[in-house]
Amino acid sequence: MLLENTTAIVYGAAGAIGSAVARAYAREGARVHVVGRKREPLDTLAGLIRRDGGTAQVAQLDVLDAPAVERHASSVAASGGIDVCFNATSNDDVQGTPLTEIELDDFMRPVTKAVTAHFVVATAVGRHMASRGRGVILVMAGGREAIPNLGGSHVAWSALTGLCRQLASEFGPHGVRVAWLLSPGSPGPNEPDVAEPKPGSGGPLLGRLPTYDDVANAAVFASSGWARTMTATEINLTGGLVLD
């Protein structure tokens, strides 16, 4: 198992990506702490992980509450350290409206929330990782696409890549890696993964979108020792929608 004897915290674990990543981490041997604002879906997720033989602990908190995040991170660190942090918190975005028509508050909300939430989480867990000389911080980000009517979301994703690069430069000397996963979105459980071309895009070269399991498997790899030289980098899961 790629993550045996490690401890991982998944923020935004109640969402589709967060829950897929949490279950994949547990499958690969990690002790998983699932974190989010609503208790009930977290309890359900933890139950599924335990049913499958994994280990899961639940914490209900708001990632914008810096003292609460710090207290939780300190508690996890004190019980065995933090090896992996995956942040999949949502940005409360408003999409579908051109920039010339969107309200300023609606545009700024995802930018402000994304940068704040990821800064709070990354610095809280990063301090504990740095003191041990190892750790991995992963987020969902990007910003290299050219897709209209995304409101502030595209700007938020771009801002997160800049934050990740700076975190990687400061944590790297302490053995902590920071990277981000770029995904164009995943189909629902009952939807085909065939991707229709989007306005301004020819569509992914592979003609399909990544499933949530695809994203989770990439997160497992990026969190493992197999990716030990990868930091300040993007993991492109777009199927060729975004070219490197």
Match domain 7-236 to its CATH number in 3.40.50.720, 1.10.3720.10, 1.10.3470.10, 3.40.50.970: 3.40.50.720
The pLDDT value given to residue 200: 53
The pLDDT value given to residue 67: 98
* Spans in the chain with pLDDT lower than 70: 190, 193-202
Cβ partners under 8 Å of residue 223, min gap 6: 2, 3, 6, 8, 25, 30, 83, 84, 86, 136, 138
The pLDDT value given to residue 1: 94
Least Cα distance to 166 among 126, 215, 110 occurs for 126
Tokens of 211: 């499933």
Tokens of 65: 């509450």
Least Cα distance to 22 among 10, 7, 4 occurs for 10
3-state secondary structure 168-227: HHHHHHHCEEEEEEECCCCCCCCCCCECCCCCCCCCCCCCECCCHHHHHHHHHHHHCHHH
Q: CA-CA distance, 170 to 123, in Å (whole number)?
A: 11
Beta-sheet pairing, 176-182 with 84-87: unpaired
The pLDDT value given to residue 144: 83
pLDDT tens digit string along 90-122?
887 888 999 999 999 999 999 999 999 999 999
231 backbone dihedrals φ, ψ, rounded to 5°: -155, 160
The pLDDT value given to residue 143: 81
Q: How long, in residues, is the chain?
A: 244
Least Cα distance to 24 among 220, 224, 223, 242 occurs for 220
The pLDDT value given to residue 10: 98
